[in-house]
Structure 1
């Protein structure tokens, strides 16, 4: 337990705003690439960095170049946190494998090596919202995430109860009606239970990513709409 406290302190000292731990058992059945990604590890670390509120003041009906630059900057910070944490673990005699913050390994299904949101939910950072994003009590959906796999003996954190309730603000704000507004106590069985996923992907990759000075499949509209984000 003492090392868990020390490790959280270290991760926050290198830039994280939120840190949580879970074990590999809690993630059984989750999609990973490769399939045996978790086999050599016992625990999983989730770290998050806040996206500043004012960035979303620039967003109205589409992402902005300012949001794009901040988004990319935070991804670099997260990758640095993952790298420094893995080195720290290694120096303590443990394994540490950082999973890049924003790397797509399957562009047909739009999957990364592991779902940072699923890890963060099990590590107690927040719950899965109707917009399918992680929602945290402190920052709402204004959070970017990175994952580190390890064999360090960590004290796990507990998942958080869903607090979305009857709120439909993200659904109402979505420019393509991709959010169905379905609530879940735990997690969605698949993405299409919560979203018309193809509508979301099409808007981000075909339209928004082609905007001047964007070049990324980003949006930000449902993040801004979430009451917890404010």
Structure 2
């Protein structure tokens, strides 16, 4: 079979298995990316979740013997809930970012990639390949950009003409020399809306992100959230959509192509107070299928505590008081103390004064003092 025929057949097959866009590029080294990654590393802008070996991130030949090309795929995900739930006084809610709605996208994309692999094996029995999604060595965005899936936006997302930046990406390195597709022209132009809207200034400039300041990254950390970011968190408990929601290319984009991606409003916009008392088992049962659960319940609980402070929810004072006095985790006790101070009131003040006499951990004591200072002001 001719390679060109195989490519056309593969494109046609991809549409039958729920792949919204497919592109092809060479397996040559991503030299421009290497320079950018080295600069990011020098500046301390990386999140620490990436593959640490930059050469593996830019050179497919280090990941598979004799690679010839890379197949890039994109799946569009929903941006709106079909059924809405409302956050109201006494029943405040947090929010998971859209990329964490529905079933864990790693599993969804792996399913599509596995089907593509099976098709390739059927057509070319001795084919070699290596598939990856997000946690693999290669940069999904760099591959997608070169494969013509979309252009690399100033918000550091791949923006497709059809679906905006609301797409999941994955790729397969293969020894089949597919004809590469043509990269798309960058359409961001002079628009800087994402840079201007970033709550923490994490977008240093178009296409450059300081992950250490990015709310998406910060919501996944497990320690105390630095003071300067707490008020910016709002009611986000996992991820951040701001640089995508302000993008003109995303206006009106909302696709419901994949049933696995449909959000359950009670899960992706959960009540905050029940999160404070949720057990490990309950957390896994309720949130385990979300990609946003991968760091466990602690970061979600810490973020929920901060969100309650954002709402100044006085109905949560008793719950926060219990956490501050009895939770075994210093980060949770201390964040609860900070939140109580932000919410304020006589009950919160008395709880903080009592905790100050009993607490032994210095970091928690510091948070109690911050809380008292908020009220005394």
Please report the TM-score for the alignment, with normalisation by the length of structure 1: 0.76
Question: CA offset at residue 38 of structure 1?
Answer: 4.4
Structure having the higher helix fraction is 2
Gap runs ≥5 in structure 1:
104-111, 183-187, 189-193
Q: Aligned in 2, Cα 1:4/1:202: closer, same or farther, shift over 3 Å? A: closer
Question: Does 2:77 match 1:77?
Answer: no
| Runs ≥4 residues deviating over 6 A | 210-213
Distance 1:122 1:85 in 2: 20
Q: Aligned in 2, Cα 1:33/1:143: closer, same or farther, shift over 3 Å? A: same
Question: CA offset at residue 102 of structure 1?
Answer: 3.1
Partner of 1:205: helix, strand, or coil? coil
Question: Does 2:137 match 1:118?
Answer: no
Q: Aligned in 2, Cα 1:199/1:66: closer, same or farther, shift over 3 Å? A: closer
Question: Does 2:171 match 1:150?
Answer: no
Match of 2:98 among 36, 45, 67: 67
Q: Report what 1:23 is aligned to.
A: 26
**1:15-60 Cα distance to aligned partner (Å, 9 max, x none):** 11110000112635754269611443101000000122315x99xx
Question: CA offset at residue 140 of structure 1?
Answer: 1.5
Question: CA offset at residue 91 of structure 1?
Answer: 2.1
Could you tell me whether the CA contact under 8 Å between 1:120 and 1:126 is conserved in 2?
yes
Q: Aligned in 2, Cα 1:84/1:211: closer, same or farther, shift over 3 Å? A: farther
Aligned length: 205
Question: What is the RMSD of the two structures over their aligned residues, measured on CA atoms?
Answer: 3.2
Match of 2:242 among 218, 221, 224: 221
Question: CA offset at residue 6 of structure 1?
Answer: 0.7
Q: Aligned in 2, Cα 1:162/1:71: closer, same or farther, shift over 3 Å? A: farther
**Structure with more relative contact order (C-alpha pairs < 8 Å, separation 6 or more):** 1
Distance 2:20 2:94 in 1: 24
Gap runs ≥5 in structure 2:
35-53, 86-92, 252-377
Could you tell me whether the CA contact under 8 Å between 1:24 and 1:44 is conserved in 2?
yes
Q: Report what 1:195 is aligned to.
A: 209
Distance 2:118 2:166 in 1: 27
Q: Report what 1:40 is aligned to.
A: 66
Partner of 2:204: helix, strand, or coil? coil
Q: Which has the larger radius of gyration?
A: 2
Q: Report what 2:153 is aligned to.
A: 129
Could you tell me whether the CA contact under 8 Å between 1:52 and 1:142 is conserved in 2?
yes
Distance 2:129 2:101 in 1: 27
Distance 2:188 2:57 in 1: 30
Could you tell me whether the CA contact under 8 Å between 2:131 and 2:171 is conserved in 1?
yes
Distance 1:2 1:149 in 2: 19
Distance 1:212 1:118 in 2: 31
